[in-house]
A and B are shown apart, each in its own frame.
Chain A
Amino acid sequence: MGLSLRHPENGWFPVAAAEDLPLRHVYAGQLAGHELAIWRADDGNINVWEDRCVHRGVRLSIGQNDGAELMCQYHGWRYANRTGGCTYIPAHPADAPAQTICTRTFPAVERYGLIWSSIDSLGDVPTVDVLVDVRDTVELVVLRSLPFDATPDHVMERLAGHTFAPASNLRPDAEPAIACDPMPGLGVALTSTAGRHSTTVVFFVQPVDADRSIVRPVLVASDGEAIDLDVLIHHAHALDDLRSLVEGEAKSREKPPKLSPPFESVADPSDAHREPRSAPLRVRVASKYDTATGIMAFELAPLGGALPSFQPGAHIDVHLPNGLVRQYSLTNGPHETDVYRIGVKLAIPSTGGSTCLHENVREGDVLAISEPHNNFTLRRDALQTILIAGGIGVTPLLSMAKTIARTGLDWMLHYFVQATDHVAFAPDLDRLGDRVATHLGLGADETVIELERILATTSEHAHVYICGPAPMLDAARRVASDSGWPDSSVHFEYFENTSVVSDSSEFEISLARSALTLRVRSGETILEVLRANGVPMPSSCEQGACGTCFVRVIDGIPDHQDVYMNDAEHAGNDRVATCVSRSLSDRLILDI
């Protein structure tokens, strides 16, 4: 197999038994000096991660597995199943963690009742003939593993002389004969025979560190052979005897220095996210189905590896075959990391985006998408969360509801929708139970009355999240304001900027960090001028609705034309939407 315990970072080794990963547990493992936090999410996916929170270096193995995310015990940073991307930082509850905050992950494969991993992920998980050839007629029994304070080579050497009795004849006077079949770099297969009784056990050697090993035996039980607790105890005690021998010898041998694997630093944040309208991901349309009248659901699966982590409220840019770019919110909860699920409403009249997705894109097609951006973040520390959705605006709020429902905090989702057949993602809503209130077919005035009822009682411990068509969203914001809700507790996301944007003014922008002064002429946007002059700018909706292209204003009075910021934020004049907003003063000094 070309593997060597002398170079334990090259190759695959068992790092845990499958039964070591019960529900909501974090197993503490180690391979080639790398300490590992190993956990199984409720969806069955196994994560093998570096056992270190990137924040303060605390071991993630003492953290909490909530079935979808692993939470560090120290400051509560949360990491997503599959990618290890940070999804929430309690000390910054209103901010989306940077995509680059990510724990180091290693591959995980379940085979022979063991979890296998590899530091450098080269090659494939080894196949062991004795365990594979007969797998249909035998049962594999994972025996008790044992850590040895001895080098992997030393353990391999002594395992060759290990003895045990056949499973069907444990009598001490059986005097079995042992046949040894070495598996270089991996372990040894031993067959014990006494009379007509015979049992094969494969002993894998896991190189924990230069001076430490774990022996993981797997017993091949013949057809119908009962492997009871006595057999497990026999093997555990036999291996314990071998350990005493090996560790006794190891005391007089020279101890190799421990491996000191480097901790890789968190990646530089100047990643693809800063590039204009980048679509670094390719996804396959795994599923496309009607979820309500005029609304198609799309499930987007990765072509390989895992999809980048996301937080509730996040959206992706979808680059369509016809060249258009459209934003869609993810409906996923934190426990749904295998595909991105979006809902697309057929716009009438369509400007080409929703028609293309509804009519031209088929299952199996490959689409280019951006990483998830999140400018509509959910606090996970509000004692009460009120989610108000209008029509297709339910998509980001569904993601939020799925998240908050896992916490035990108080929440409610109010879904204003035309009629029952317009209710999108009904099965998901059903699973959320009676905290989802559907308000069917209300006219504008009735909607306001219902909103007044919902928002009647303000609380400093509550936060409100609103998404829906502009008239409904405007009404909800007005009702919230009239009911005494502070702007800081009311969060919203418009699909689009329906107000008329004026681009007639002319002004100067000074870039404080780049020492550049540029002229924005009528008909041009700040964003266009920046890009034309080689300043890389992220953007998404390019109509002042999503918040992606905002920059900080150091001096000058912006002429706000976005619908992303609230009135207080507009009055603060410290940020500007470069895609639509302009300047009331002759010059804007920008912090870029």
Chain B
Amino acid sequence: MITLYDYILSVNCYKLRLLMSILDVEYTSVPIDFYPGWEHKGAAFKKINRLGHIPVIDDDGFVLRDSHAIMVYLASKYDPARRWYPVDDARLLGETASWLLFAEGTTNTASAARLHVNLGYDFDLAAVQAAAHRLFRVLDEHLWFQEHRRLDWVASAGHPTIADLAIFPDIALSEEGGIARRDYPALRRWTARVQRIPGFTAMPGIFPIAPAAVAENRPS
């Protein structure tokens, strides 16, 4: 059984809830009083993660920290089709790793702006917002090109990978950090596609959306 040291408003915890929901993996959530209690910086939690940050999982005694590392682990262990972390295709795996690193960038900019606005962190707001816009421009261009290659996701596969889920929450919550997405139509279409992945789960500020293709007046 998996235990997730969790905080409902954390984008990095949400990425794992999202992946486990999509993969239909059961887990127990242990809430950490991240704000305003700073429990993750307390002595007790530091016994679980010496770095004092969340998320952390405990899978039958195997303890792992860092959201992207945990996504690699969960996808490798619980996705028998080997699509979410596509280890059988070298190029795809390389692209996935590259976009996972891109997600570090969006977390350090877009989500930093959100932490500053919402949770009392002290960042140079204008600087992180401007840096986020630079990344959004690159991602929007990439996704527009992908659409013209008839590809829906950040890596060049016919299916999403953990890289999509890693980037998604930073983007979907960017307005909370004062970063508008009106300039990024391809990015907005991609977030809608992520929201329609079967098994998608919501978090405060991120809604599920209705399926794109419901048969009109379906009989049952």
Contact = CB atoms under 8 A, between A and B. Distances in A.
Q: Do A and B bind each other?
A: yes
Interface of A: 16, 20, 22-25, 27-30, 35, 42, 61-62, 64, 66-67, 73, 144, 147, 229, 232-233, 236, 240, 333, 335, 402, 405-406, 431-435
Contacts of B212: 22-25
Contact residues of B: prevailing secondary structure: loop
Contact of A433 (B207, B209, B210, B217): B217
Contact of B218 (A22, A23, A29, A405): A405
Contacts of B216: 42, 67, 335, 406, 431
B182 A30 contact: yes
Interface centre among B210, B211, B217, B218 (most CB of A within 10 A): B217
Contact of B141 (A42, A144, A433): A144
A336 to B, nearest CB: 11
A541 B64 CA distance: 72
Contacts of B211: 24
A402 B217 CA distance: 6
Given A232-B145, A433-B220, A435-B220, A28 B188 contact: yes
B210 A66 contact: yes
B214 interface: yes
A434 B219 contact: yes
B141 to A, nearest CB: 6
B183 A435 contact: no
A432 B210 contact: no
B192 A25 contact: yes
Contact residues of A: prevailing secondary structure: mixed
Interface of B: 141, 144-145, 148-149, 181-183, 185, 188-189, 192, 207, 209-214, 216-220
A406 B217 contact: yes
Given A27-B188, A432-B217, 13 more contacts: A23-B212, A24-B213, A27-B185, A28-B182, A30-B182, A66-B210, A232-B145, A240-B141, A402-B217, A431-B216, A433-B218, A435-B219, A435-B220
Nearest to A51: B182
Contacts of B185: 16, 20, 27-28
A59 to B, nearest CB: 9
B174 to A, nearest CB: 12
* A-B complex: 10 closest residue pairs judged by Cβ atoms: A433-B219, A405-B217, A147-B183, A24-B212, A28-B182, A23-B212, A20-B185, A431-B217, A64-B210, A434-B219
A67 B214 contact: yes
B182 A236 contact: no
Nearest to B149: A229
B217 A229 contact: no
A394 to B, nearest CB: 16
Interface centre among A30, A42, A405 (most CB of B within 10 A): A405
Nearest to A410: B220
Interface centre among B149, B210, B212 (most CB of A within 10 A): B210
B144 A144 contact: yes
A237 B218 CA distance: 45
A30 B180 CA distance: 12
Contact of B213 (A23, A61, A402, A434): A23
Nearest to A16: B185
B204 to A, nearest CB: 13
